[in-house]
Amino acid sequence: MRIGQRSLIRIYSTLNLRRFTLALVATCVLTGYARAQGPLRETVVFPQTVEISTLLSLPSLTPVHEPTPAAEGFAAPTPIIESRAALKEATAHQFWDRENRVLFAATGIAATGDFLITRANLASGGRELNPVTRLFTGSTPALASSFALQTTAVIGVSYLFHKTGHHRLERLTSVVSITTSSGAVAYGLTHR
């Protein structure tokens, strides 16, 4: 076996170990996230329908115009009045609910672990692989600020998703951050 082949085998096995570790961490995080949510529950809110005769009998509503003689061959459509308040109430939750607090705490813990492993690897002669974080590796306070800003950005993006009604993406933002930080910790521990 030549030297070039041996290094290719070592690189290939390192890549497989990295992929396996990342897949294992992602599976553990997602399984824990699914268990934290409890059994799957879907709330289905059906639109409320109201008959025209009921609408005509209400004094506060204007009467529906009678169809013209040319359109008598068609049945008059039944208006559907959706209860948007009921729909919004069924899907809304507080931003700082228990699940978000747990996810944000886990995001902070994963970022702290990533910071500690990165700092230890840099102190022992390693190098930062993330090009954005590499800009802050000159000093420990700058590196700590970088990871703190990362955690703050995750909370900010989650808040934007919450305000726009994208509640699954709100939770998924934290899960992705936890997974990537945990993968970076696993990679840092295996490459000391």
Listing DSSP states for 43-86 in one string gives ---PPEE--HHHHHH-TTSPPPPPPPGGGTTSPPPPPEE--HHH
Could you list the mean pLDDT of each consecutive 10-residue stretch along the chain, which spans 192 residues?
Answer: 53 59 63 58 60 60 54 59 57 87 97 95 91 92 95 97 93 96 94 81
CA-based max dimension of the chain: 92
Ranges of each domain in the chain = 3-41+93-190, 48-88
Give the pLDDT confidence score for residue 1 in this predicted structure.
47
Q: At 14, is the secondary structure helix, strand, or coil?
A: helix
pLDDT tens digit sequence for 120-140: 999 999 989 989 999 999 999
Centroid of chain to Cα 167: 8
CA distance 64 to 66: 6
104 contacts 174 by C-beta, under 8 angstroms: yes
Is the pTM above the cut of 0.85?
no
CA distance 188 to 11: 16
